[in-house]
């Protein structure tokens, strides 16, 4: 039932795009007088970043330069199949421009200007649509299968289910006739969803009771506080480590990589997190400091052994504020981000060993920014909740109006149905009701 209106809308958008300035930009990639050559590629299944770069004629040394030039802007640890790469070479076969794009509306570009890589971000006009999906559990359906059948991507479905799992014991308490509701904010470009935010999730049943979850977006970019919470600010992660930094941007992931200083292929037993020198570093859980010292490779380093025998490692610190033998509490500041040891710049190398003493990717641990939002963040959550509720009321009004006008009978026979769409531009200004 959504489709006819959407189709009209996409037609309009594609028409507008014919006249958009982006077409002009795209054609300047090939500058005729220099006879530059542009290589295009995309990330294929099973490919790492270096392999994908090699496919567009960028060798390892150059790859390192490019990755460094982009690492503050691009989360390379979240490389996806289909991400687009473009390399432009001049007549001397030197790389002069590189662009990386994880969705059709955005391009990260670095250009070599006077021997230095300059960063530029190109973004197309997109729209945010708000819509509600709601439904009822039937005898032979699950929440998961219903949402998937409705065209949501597996990652969005997982997000919704994981949030509800913390409040609802589906195995024990789910019953036929239980109802759920999801409010989605979907970023649209040329008829495709390029980003989805799950703003609201609710589940209600005779046995399960009523549960609501709200998406809180922190003012700081890539903040670890951006997550789902209950109305009173309880984080919807039951337990887990606290993050070592207040904002999370992975500069270099866990696993095999080419070392940024030595250029050698080596196993990276931890993750490198971006942080300015002096940024507080927090203990991820209670524990005993088993190491606090300096060495030429790790720089200032701290290791903490936790109650279950697991250990966390914090390297390249500028300052250490705890010593060997100290007991530290969860989230206590233990030092600051620095650039000590063998590094190219300030960052936190964060490592984690299981109770059995094996290195693991710390990002595979369940991590939590806070068990409960407080102060300004709690106040901001309340504001965001009230705008989420307002948005749902608006959608309900549109739904009612549409039912009247379209006189569609028996909507309730489907297991899930959608309420139609409110549309916002990138500045979050409402631009249309998508009415009939």
Binding site for Zn ion (CB under 5 A): 272, 349
Q: With respect to Zn ion, which residue has the nearer C-beta, 131 or 349?
A: 349
Q: With respect to Zn ion, which residue has the nearer C-beta, 195 or 344?
A: 344
Chain-centroid distance, C-alpha 326: 35
| 398 touches 422 (CB < 8 A) | yes
What's the closest the beta carbon of residue 315 comes to Zn ion, in angstroms? 7
What's the closest the beta carbon of residue 273 comes to Zn ion, in angstroms? 9
Q: With respect to Zn ion, which residue has the nearer C-beta, 107 or 349?
A: 349
| 235 touches 327 (CB < 8 A) | no
Q: With respect to Zn ion, which residue has the nearer C-beta, 53 or 343?
A: 343
Position closest to Zn ion via CB = 349
| Beta strand pairing call for 179-189 and 192-205 | antiparallel
Q: With respect to Zn ion, which residue has the nearer C-beta, 78 or 125?
A: 78
Q: Which residues pair with 179 in a beta bridge?
A: 136, 204
Q: With respect to Zn ion, which residue has the nearer C-beta, 135 or 362?
A: 362
What's the closest the beta carbon of residue 270 comes to Zn ion, in angstroms? 5
Q: With respect to Zn ion, which residue has the nearer C-beta, 95 or 273?
A: 273
Q: With respect to Zn ion, which residue has the nearer C-beta, 135 or 341?
A: 341
What's the closest the beta carbon of residue 349 comes to Zn ion, in angstroms? 3
For residues 273 and 33, give the distance between their C-alpha atoms in angstroms, rounded to a whole number: 42
Of the candidates 428, 408, 427, 432, the residue with the CA atom closest to the CA atom of residue 418: 408
What's the closest the beta carbon of residue 306 comes to Zn ion, in angstroms? 21
Q: With respect to Zn ion, which residue has the nearer C-beta, 259 or 389?
A: 259
What's the closest the beta carbon of residue 293 comes to Zn ion, in angstroms? 17
For residues 262 and 180, give the distance between their C-alpha atoms in angstroms, rounded to a whole number: 53
What's the closest the beta carbon of residue 245 comes to Zn ion, in angstroms? 14
What's the closest the beta carbon of residue 290 comes to Zn ion, in angstroms? 20
What's the closest the beta carbon of residue 251 comes to Zn ion, in angstroms? 8
What's the closest the beta carbon of residue 275 comes to Zn ion, in angstroms? 12
Of the candidates 240, 246, 265, the residue with the CA atom closest to the CA atom of residue 366: 240
Q: With respect to Zn ion, which residue has the nearer C-beta, 105 or 271?
A: 271
Q: With respect to Zn ion, which residue has the nearer C-beta, 201 or 336?
A: 336
- Number of neighbouring beta carbons within 10 Å of residue 383: 10
What's the closest the beta carbon of residue 252 comes to Zn ion, in angstroms? 6
Question: CA angle, 112 as apex, 111 and 114 as ends, to 5°?
Answer: 140
């Amino acid at each position: 039932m959504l489709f006819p209106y959407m189709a009209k809308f996409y037609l309009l958008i594609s028409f507008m795009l014919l006249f958009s300035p982006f077409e002009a930009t795209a054609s300047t990639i090939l500058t005729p007088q220099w006879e530059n050559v542009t290589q295009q590629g995309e990330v294929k299944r099973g490919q790492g970043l270096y392999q994908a770069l090699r496919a567009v004629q960028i060798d390892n040394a150059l790859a390192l330069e490019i990755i460094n030039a982009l690492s503050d802007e691009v989360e390379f640890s979240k490389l996806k199949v289909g991400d687009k790469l473009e390399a432009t070479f001049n007549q001397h076969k030197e790389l002069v421009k590189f662009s990386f794009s994880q969705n059709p509306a955005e391009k990260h570009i670095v250009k070599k200007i006077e021997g230095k890589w300059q960063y530029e971000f190109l973004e197309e006009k997109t729209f945010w649509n708000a819509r509600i999906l709601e439904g009822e559990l039937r005898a032979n359906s699950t929440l998961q299968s219903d949402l998937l059948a409705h065209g949501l991507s597996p990652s969005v479905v997982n997000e919704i289910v994981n949030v509800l799992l913390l409040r609802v014991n589906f195995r024990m308490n789910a019953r036929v006739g239980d109802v759920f509701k999801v409010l989605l904010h979907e970023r649209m470009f040329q008829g495709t969803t390029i980003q989805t935010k799950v703003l609201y999730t609710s589940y209600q049943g005779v046995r399960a009771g009523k549960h609501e979850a709200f998406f809180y977006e922190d003012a700081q970019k890539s903040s670890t506080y951006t997550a789902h919470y209950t109305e009173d600010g309880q984080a919807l992660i039951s337990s887990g480590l606290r993050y070592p930094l207040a904002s999370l941007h992975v500069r270099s992931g866990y696993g095999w990589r080419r070392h940024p200083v030595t250029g050698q292929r080596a196993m990276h037993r931890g993750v490198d997190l971006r942080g300015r020198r002096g940024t507080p570093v927090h203990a991820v859980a209670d524990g005993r400091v088993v190491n606090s010292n300096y060495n030429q490779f790790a720089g200032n380093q701290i290791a903490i052994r936790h109650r279950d025998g697991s250990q966390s490692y914090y390297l390249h610190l500028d300052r250490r504020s705890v010593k060997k033998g100290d007991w530290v509490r969860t989230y206590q500041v233990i030092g600051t981000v620095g650039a000590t040891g063998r590094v190219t710049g300030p960052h936190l190398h964060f490592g984690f060993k299981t109770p059995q003493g094996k290195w693991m990717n710390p990002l595979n641990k369940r991590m939590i920014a806070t068990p409960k939002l407080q102060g300004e963040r709690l106040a901001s959550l309340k504001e965001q909740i009230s705008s989420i509720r307002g948005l749902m009321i608006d959608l309900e009004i549109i739904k009612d109006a549409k039912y009247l006008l379209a006189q569609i009978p028996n909507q309730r026979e489907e297991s899930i149905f959608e309420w139609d769409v409110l549309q916002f531009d990138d500045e979050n200004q409402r631009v249309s009701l998508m009415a009939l």
